[in-house]
Amino acid sequence: MTDSKPIKVLIVDDHPVVRDGLKNMLLAFDDLELIGEAENGQTALSFCRENAPDVILMDIIMPVMDGVLATRAILKECPQVRIIVLTSFTKEDLVQKTLDAGAIGYLLKNTPIDALAEAIRAAYAGQPTLAPEATKALIHTKTTTKPGRDLSERELEVLCLIVEGLSNREIAGRLQISPATARHHVSACIQKLGAANRTQAASIALQHELVCDSD
């Protein structure tokens, strides 16, 4: 690195052996500095409130507060922190949940130390790093996930009214929102469902049972 200031790293894992191994790994790199360790997400959150890590190596399965909840909570209070999930699990839902929570990387615990060090540097620079297994899990999730999983509660309400055949103005009146807001929600529904128009969006909604019957 050209920056003389080392990257400050926090290790979060409930297994002391894992933490010790990561600590020894960090000692091999002059540009990486361990500033703390935590045995669960709650301890990590408390640490971040008092200190300022640049990058966190975060386990997922932990007592008290798991890695997904911790990632979301830490980034809410300390948005400048970069979090790399470091785990043994590649379950599709875990990969998706941690990335949705804001993690910038997802690596396995058998990642070689040089590759892990590069991932820390990349995260510090704002660049994501995903293990090949995590990438495959994401691709599989995209191809098998039920449409509409990312629709908000309001968008689902709008989608129900689209299925009923209401116009944008009628939707606005029903939900007591402005026509512009209704139009925005309708467009979001169409886009998130991958539909070409509102008719196709209604068809997808009925096919996948995203809305209740309108009778």
Query: What is the total count of domains within the chain?
Result: 2
Does residue 84 sit in the same domain as residue 171? Answer: no
Does residue 84 sit in the same domain as residue 121? Answer: yes
Tokens of 197: 């128009």
Does residue 36 sit in the same domain as residue 109? Answer: yes
Does residue 114 sit in the same domain as residue 165? Answer: no
CA dihedral 52, 57, 63, 65 (to 10 degrees): 50
**Domain endpoint, select from 92, 117, 144:** 144
Burial class (CB in 10 A: 0-12, 13-18, 19+), 181: middle
Does residue 62 sit in the same domain as residue 131? Answer: yes
212 is a domain residue: no
What is the distance between the alpha carbons of residues 38 and 10, in angstroms, rounded to a whole number? 8
CA 21 to chain CA centroid, Å, is: 26
Does residue 13 sit in the same domain as residue 109? Answer: yes
> Domain range holding 58?
7-144
Residue 187 is part of a domain; what is its CATH number? 1.10.10.10
Residue 90 is part of a domain; what is its CATH number? 3.40.50.2300
Is the distance from CB of 198 to CB of 162 less than 8 angstroms? yes
What is the distance between the alpha carbons of residues 1 and 125, in angstroms, rounded to a whole number? 11
pLDDT in tens, the chain (215 residues): 445 799 999 999 999 999 999 999 999 999 999 999 999 999 999 999 999 999 999 999 999 999 999 999 999 999 999 999 999 887 777 888 888 889 999 999 999 999 999 999 999 999 988 888 777 766 655 555 567 778 888 999 999 999 988 999 999 999 999 999 999 999 999 988 888 888 888 888 888 788 765 44
97 is a domain residue: yes
∠ CA(107), CA(49), CA(32), 5° rounding? 45
